Amino acid sequence: MKKILIVDDDRDLVLALSIRLIASGYGVLSASDGAGAILAAAKGSPDLILLDIGIPGGNGIIVLNLLKDSPETASIPVVVLTGRNLAKVQDQILELGPVAFVQKPMATDELLALIQKHTGGGEQTAEAA
């Protein structure tokens, strides 16, 4: 089963995404701040990270930089989530190598398609999802 790490301080968003991902055949890990994100990525070995830029305890840009600098997490694909003006933050983090940027609020179906593209999909078939 592919595992997705959701890093966001919005508990309602994390819960909603978790339910949708689990229903689509993924395992889910979550963290609500920078330190938790680094620890969960290192210990949980996720197949993809959904990383909000506006998290407490080290903003998402710092977290992304640390993830990409660490040999144990550098190869994990990261999808950056942001409620901020995407044009302003995109240049700042483009060099850190996220696989995609997603503007909040996001369409869950589009996010799932993006996750499937970068992980090879969940455990369920297309008909079941």
pLDDT at 50 over 80: yes
Show the tokens assigned to 122: 């969940």
Confidence of residue 83 (pLDDT cuts 50, 70, 90): confident
Determine the longest span between alpha carbons in the chain, in angstroms.
40
Annotated domain spans of the chain: 3-119
Show the tokens assigned to 42: 């290192």
Q: Which fold has domain 3-119?
A: Rossmann fold (3.40.50)
pLDDT of residue 129: 35
pLDDT of residue 58: 66
pLDDT at 127 over 50: no
Its pTM stands at 0.89
CA 103, 19, 79: angle at the middle one, nearest 5?
Answer: 30
Mean pLDDT, range 9-15, rounded to an integer: 95
pLDDT of residue 103: 84
User: With pLDDT > 90 as the criterion, what percentage of the chain qualifies?
Assistant: 64
Q: Which of 21-30, 59-68, 115-124 has the lowest mean pLDDT?
A: 115-124
Mean pLDDT, range 60-81, rounded to an integer: 93
